[in-house]
Structure 1
Amino acid sequence: ADEILVRIRACAFNPIDFQMRRGLGESKLLTSHILGREFAGIVEDAGNSSFNIGDAVYAYAGSLGSNGTYATHIALPKALVAPIPVGFDFSQAASIPMVSLTALQCFERLMVKQEDSVFVAGGAGGVGKVLIALLKKSGVTKIVTTAGNKESRNKLMDLGLPEDDILDYRSPQLSGRLMDSNGGKYFDYAVDIVGGSMSEICSAVLKTFGVYADLAALTTEDCRNQLFDKAATVCNIANYAMAASGTQAGLSYYGEKLAYISTLLRERKIAPPEVISMGEFSAATVARAHQILEENAARGHKLVMSLPD
């Protein structure tokens, strides 16, 4: 009675999808052999919800639906779902939930002050761009990030970042160059959306008693040692955390935050991810999308698959 049935019209791909396929990451949460975490579609059975049959909706379903979102239909708790923002098509809407909810959780939990300095590792990706937009809108002026190509640099400058505060992540002596961009000082916050060797860069440029936000769960031992030596506060950001709480408040969190994200989009305080259409619903489409994600070749775009109407 608390669920609705949605005909999926578009679903987005995320790195967590191929990680779950490999048995990594959130695979322990899987309740269906069908992958896919987010979608946009049309309500076919509204149950006892306030939605109507035919409403266009979107959601981060996580592992809380009847199946993953690489499917024609999904039944899921009504609390997870929000109306698609006016003016957005299904492909655009499907690209929004996961990156925006993750960025919003990070922004709200860190509570960065306007005078604080922030290093965002991986700012050119979907989560990074939304987070930087939120930080800029809140008045934070010192945000330094990394990018790997001219297209990414231009998009970050479109968000209002000075060119000197966007560094190539392959630069030699990257830690020193990052601190030079911060006036020779350590950063108050380091946001790690990448992990691996970049986690060590984050811990190296973070001040003593600073805050390290871990969005990748891919820290190295060296990183963890540096964070401990600096008595850093570690803030783990996991989009599925509220769902894992198993409470009604945990479920309602997603629909409520997604409705707020719709407001931010409508007011142009954040922008939706740029979408690459991977084509129609098929196993071949899924395979191509996973290959692009595994090769880290999406360049900050969201890959989306369309389903027939």
Structure 2
Amino acid sequence: MEAILTTKIPLSLSSSSSTSSNTPSLSLSSLSTLSKTTKKLSNTLIFKGTQHCNYPSSLKICAMSQTAPASVEPSTIPTEMKAWIYEDYGGVDVLKFGSNVKVPEIKDDQVLIKVAAAALNPVDFKRRLGKFKASDSPLPTIPGYDVAGVVVKVGSQVKEFKVGDEVYGDISEKALDGPKQFGSLAEYTAVEDKLLALKPKNIDFVQAAGLPLAVETAYEGLERAGMSPGKSILVLGGAGGVGSLVIQLAKQVFGASRVAATASTGKIEFLKSLGVDLAIDYTKEKFEDLPEKFDVVYDTVGEGERNVKAVKEGGSVVVLTGAVTPPGFRFVVTSNGEVLKKLNPYLESGKVKPIIDPKGPFTFDKVVEAFSYLETNRATGKVVIHPIS
């Protein structure tokens, strides 16, 4: 099927190898100016052919490989790459695949990553729907926050990482306030070194990609709620990407004395496998009616006034989505590679485990399907895209 879009400068994004040499490729540097030139120019951008990705990558990375290349010659970094892009807000149909997107230049404090795997988060589809357009970066957008991959180029101010390092992180420091225009659903992405950490040696790229935004959100929420040894916690939505990590961090990192969590009937055993002391089937009982109350309630699903009914007097209620009722509070995570570094020992020891939805990983040509699945709100753990090629 051929999709014809109106854009503002002459360019072509085609998955066909027969792209005319007279048509300039889409430059990431020019992308940011597109929305400013709408009234001046109106040309046609044609996406032709297929969403399949049968092109050889210039740098192959296997998700299970634990050995990074010692070095990567600059000549092996191509000038163009494949990426998913949307030029308008809307449903999954706005996502388009391009094969001649310009590889981004890096700033002095950034590294260029050859992406091995990327993960989707609810913020990805909410952003695509335009829910944060007031504070979003300009369209068009390459979506994706979470990344795991190999450093292939470093900026002049980067001290901590070198070419060949296997890294992971959430590439946008602020999730909603001007997030990166050019995200992780591409073969290459540019990221500030302060947002990254070395990938734990005992997990693969798929597992690493599923961690950053969710584990940083879980950690920051617990920290803000005053979670500490001996306190009890109730996690609403315990089988989700954030919830499954809140459970593990509360127990293994913050020393919770008792962890309760909610899930549907089919995921109760999964909660128990994470170490939950009290698994609540929300289809059969109301958590707010339980006689037991908790020091912290961590609401990942948006239960409104119900969540505050389960907290002890003087306790804290963390709310990630939906209405907030006092003493509940909401926060938006700030990406920080130092948090990942702090948690790496727990990951390497196996005390905290990445949770990847069993339907995945989705291949790079199945990004639309991955978004559609994520939006059902039925995923267990994280929805990951791999391989990116």
Give the TM-score category using the shorter length.
Answer: 0.7 to 0.9
State the Cα distance separating 1:278 from its structure 2 match. Answer: 4.0
Q: Deviations over 1:22-80 (max 9, x none)?
A: 00147723355111111111111112323221221111012654611111111121111
CA contact (8 A) 1:119 1:143 kept: yes
Q: Evaluate the alpha carbon distance shift between residue 173 and residue 84 of structure 1 in structure 2; reply closer, same or farther with a 3 A threshold.
A: closer
The amino acid across from 2:109 in the alignment is: D
Deviations 1:8-35 (A, max 9, x none): 1111111111111100147723355111
Tell me how far 1:173 sits from its aligned partner.
4.3
Question: Do structure 1's residue 54 and structure 2's residue 160 form an aligned pair?
Answer: no
Distance 1:89 1:174, change over 3 A: closer
Hey, what's the Cα distance between the residues in 1 that align with 2:162 and 2:261? 43
Contact 2:355 2:380 in 1 (8 A): no
Identity of aligned residues (%): 29
Paired position in structure 1 for 2:241 = 126
Higher relative contact order at CA 8 Å, sep ≥6: structure 1 or structure 2?
1
TM-fit CA distance, 1:96: 1.1
Q: Secondary structure at the match of 1:277?
A: coil
Query: CA contact under 8 A between 2:137 and 2:181: conserved in structure 1?
Result: no
Deviation at 1:115? 3.9
Q: Which residue number in structure 2 is paired with residue 191 of structure 1?
A: 298
Stretch deviating more after TM superposition (202-211 or 5-14): 202-211
Contact 1:16/1:25 (<8 A) preserved: no
Whole-angstrom distance in 2 between the partners of 1:64 and 1:18: 13
User: Number of paired residues?
Assistant: 272
2-structure distance, mates of 1:27, 1:307:
30
Q: For residues 41-80 of structure 1, what are the structure 2 equivalents within 5 Å?
A: 41-48=149-156, 49-50=158-159, 51-62=161-172, 65=180, 67-80=182-195
Q: Confirm or deny that 1:35 pairs with 2:143.
A: yes
Structure 2, unaligned runs of 5 or more: 1-107, 173-177
The 3 A distance-change label for structure 1 pair 160 and 100 is same
Distance change (3 Å), C-alpha of 1:157 and 1:9 = same
Cross-structure match for 1:266: 348
Question: Where does residue 381 of structure 2 map in the other structure?
Answer: 300
User: What is residue 235 of structure 1 aligned with on the other side?
Assistant: 329
Q: Residues 208 and 158 of structure 1: is their aligned pair in 2 closer, same or farther, counting only changes over 3 Å?
A: same
Cα offset, 1:306, TM superposition:
1.9
What CA distance in whole angstroms lies between the structure 2 residues aligned with 1:209 and 1:21? 38
| Mapped contact 1:12–1:304 kept (Cα < 8 A) | yes
Task: Pick which of 70-79 and 299-308 moved more.
Answer: 299-308
For 1:139, the equivalent position in structure 2 comes to: 255
Render the CA deviation track for 1:200-237: whole Å, top value 9, x for unaligned.
22022223433111122x11xxx63xx3xxxx2x3323
Match of 2:305 in 1: 200
* Cα-to-partner distance string for 1:128-158 (whole Å, 9 max, x where unaligned): 12211222224322322111033x2222212
Are 1:65 and 1:76, in contact at CA under 8 Å, matched by a contact in 2?
A: no
CA distance in 2, matches of 1:91, 1:27: 32
In the alignment, what sits opposite 1:103?
Answer: 218
- SS for the counterpart of 1:274 is coil
Which of structures 1 and 2 has the bigger CA Rg? Answer: 2
Q: What is the TM-score normalised by the length of structure 1?
A: 0.80
Distance 1:68 1:27 in 2: 19
One-letter code of the match for 1:54?
Answer: G
Query: Structure 1 or 2: larger helix share?
Result: 1
Distance 1:188 1:10, change over 3 A: same
Q: Given residue 168 of structure 1, which amino acid in structure 2 is its aligned partner?
A: D
Residues 101-122 of structure 1: per-residue CA shift (max 9 Å, x gap): 1111122222224443322111
Which consecutive unaligned segments of at least 5 residues does structure 1 have?
244-253
Q: Which residue is 1:251 aligned to? A: none
Identify the residue that residue 43 of structure 2 maps to in structure 1: none
